[in-house]
A and B are shown apart, each in its own frame.
Chain A
Amino acid sequence: MRSRAFDWESASLRAVFGALAAVAVVFLVAPSVIVILTSFTASYSLKFPPEGFSLRWYAELAEAYQMQRAAWNSLIVAFWTTAISVVLGTAGALGIARSRAVWARACEVLFMSPLILPALAFGFAALVYIHLLGLRPSIPLLVLGHVVVCVPFVLRTTLAALTQLDPGLLDASYSLGAGGWMTFRRVTLPLIGRGVGAGAFLCFMASFDNVPVSLFLADERTEVLPIHLWQQIETNLDVRTAAVSGLIVVATLALMVAAEKLAGLTRQLR
Chain B
Amino acid sequence: MLVWLSLHAEPQLETLTPAHYLAFFGDRFHYSILWDTLLLGAKATLVCLVFGYPIAWICVRASARWQSVLVFLVVLPILTSVVVRTFAWIVILGRQGIVNQAALALGLVDEPVRLLFTEAGVVMVLAQVQMPLMVLPILAVLSRADPNLADASKALGAGEWRTFWRVTLPLSLPGVIAGSILTYAACVTAFVTQTLIGGARLIYMPLHIYSQAVGANNWPFAAAISVVFMLAVLVVVYALERAGRASRSYVHA
Q: Which residues of A contact B (CB under 8 A)?
A: 6, 9-10, 12-14, 16-18, 20-21, 23-25, 27-32, 34-35, 38, 45-48, 110, 113, 115-122, 124-129, 132, 202, 205, 208-209, 211-212, 215-216, 225-226, 229-230, 233-234, 237, 241-242, 245, 248-249, 252-253, 255-256, 260, 265-266, 269-270
Residues from chain B with Cβ under 8 Å of A215 in the complex: 191, 210
State whether the Cβ of B82 lies closer than 8 Å to any Cβ in chain A: yes
**Shortest CB–CB separation between residue B190 and chain A, in angstroms?**
9
Residues from chain A with Cβ under 8 Å of B192 in the complex: 211, 226, 230
- Which of A46, A117, A124 is packed against the most chain B CB atoms within 10 Å? A124
State whether the Cβ of B80 lies closer than 8 Å to any Cβ in chain A: yes
Q: Which residues of B contact A (CB under 8 A)?
A: 1-2, 5-6, 9, 12, 50-55, 57-58, 67-68, 70-77, 79-92, 94, 96-98, 101, 127-128, 131-132, 136, 139-140, 143, 159-161, 164, 181-182, 185, 188-189, 191-192, 195-196, 205-206, 209-210, 213-214, 219, 222-223, 226-227, 229-230, 233-234, 237
Residues from chain A with Cβ under 8 Å of B214 in the complex: 216
Can you report 20 A-B residue pairs in the complex whose CB atoms are below 8 A from each other?
Answer: A16-B54, A17-B54, A21-B54, A24-B131, A25-B73, A28-B77, A46-B90, A48-B92, A110-B1, A116-B233, A117-B189, A209-B82, A209-B83, A211-B191, A216-B214, A229-B83, A233-B86, A234-B196, A248-B84, A256-B75
How would you classify the secondary structure of chain A's contact residues: helix, strand, loop or mixed? helix
Q: A28-B74, A34-B91, A128-B219 are in contact. Are A211 and B57 (CB under 8 A)?
A: no
Whether the Cβ atoms of A10 and B230 lie closer than 8 Å is no
Residues from chain B with Cβ under 8 Å of A226 in the complex: 81-83, 192
A-B contact count (CB 8 A): 230
**Shortest CB–CB separation between residue B141 and chain A, in angstroms?**
10
How would you classify the secondary structure of chain B's contact residues: helix, strand, loop or mixed? helix
Whether the Cβ atoms of A121 and B229 lie closer than 8 Å is yes
State which of A110, A115, A253 has its C-beta within 8 Å of the C-beta of B185: A115
